[in-house]
Amino acid sequence: MPGRQTARSHEHRSFTFLGYTFRSRKVRARTGKYFFGFNPAVSDEAGKRIRRQIRSWRLHLRGYYGRFYKSELIDVLRGINHYLMRWATQKFKRLRRHRHRAWEKLGEIARQYPCLFAHWQFGVRP
């Protein structure tokens, strides 16, 4: 019938562009209510590349430097905390231009989840 629309099945429900996969996802509005929006997230291919890169670092073999004079390694581990803080300020809008607030939030997370990062287990927490 003319003018009447019928339910169609769509062939593509998602697409990948610049390392992001766009598809329907559950999103929380500012009011706290949930709705479905067409939003991006890291694509499967990009996630695999990231994990492959991290594996290539062979971090499990890096304990070699902490064998003697662990105190010399503390500055390097504090640098990791600094990078985490910088990441948080870029990732979360409420922490932008608020480094002190980002440090506090990172410290709160370190207290709640002390085993989240290996260097936090050694006591090098923000």
Give the pLDDT band (50/70/90) at residue 35: very high
> Are the C-beta atoms of residues 106 and 85 closer than 8 Å to each other?
yes
pLDDT at 4 over 60: no
% the chain with pLDDT above 90: 25
pTM of this structure: 0.52
Task: Please state, in angstroms and rounded to a whole number, the distance separating the CA atoms of residues 93 and 37.
Answer: 20
Rounded Cα distance between 90 and 16, Å, is: 23
Question: How far is Cα 53 from Cα 47, in angstroms, rounded to an integer?
Answer: 10
99-112 helix and 70-91 helix, angle to the nearest 10 degrees: 120
- pLDDT for 91-120, tens place per residue? 988 899 899 999 999 999 999 999 998 888
Distance CA(100)–CA(32), nearest Å, equals 27
**Given this model, what pLDDT does residue 105 score?**
93
User: Distance between CA atoms of 102 and 107, rounded to whole angstroms?
Assistant: 9
